[in-house]
Amino acid sequence: MQNIKYQIINIITILIMTFFAIPKLLGKPQSVAGFKQFENAIHLNADFFRIFTGISELGLAILVLVFAFNKNITIGKLAFSFLLITMITALGLEFFARPEPKLILVIIAVVLALFAIYRLRTFNQNVK
């Protein structure tokens, strides 16, 4: 049962990260507009930051996918640490760089951060 729960977390994480990475990498108008909002607040080129974020999110999805198949604890810790850092950064951007935070993005970031914390705690319990 525990293994099924872990795989559900992996699948949800992979799907969400891929879902958000692809529009960024393809330069979809909504994604471009969202990153224009960040440009003034963080003083980074919006296109560079959008592409960097898209590559990071896709890389994260691939890392979780690799972990899901090979079950290497080190890769799992790296993947879910990367997820936690990414979601904390996303929350920071939503609250401090965007004029008005988008509730759905905040909820998704919080849920993924909780998944990451949960999985990181389970890795530490398995070591004992």
Residue 38 sits at the vertex; the CA angle it makes with 106 and 44, to the nearest 5 degrees, is: 135
pLDDT in tens, 6-63: 999 999 999 999 999 999 999 999 999 888 888 888 888 989 999 999 999 999 999 9
Q: How many domains does the chain have?
A: 1
For residue 33, the model assigns a pLDDT of: 87
pLDDT at 127 over 70: no
Angle at which helix 46-70 crosses helix 29-42, to 10 degrees, equals 110
Task: Report how far apart, in Å, the C-alpha atoms of 8 and of each of 1, 12, 48, 68 are.
Answer: 11, 6, 32, 10
Structural domain including 77 reads 2-127
The pTM of this model reads 0.90
pLDDT averaged over the chain? 92
27: which DSSP letter? T
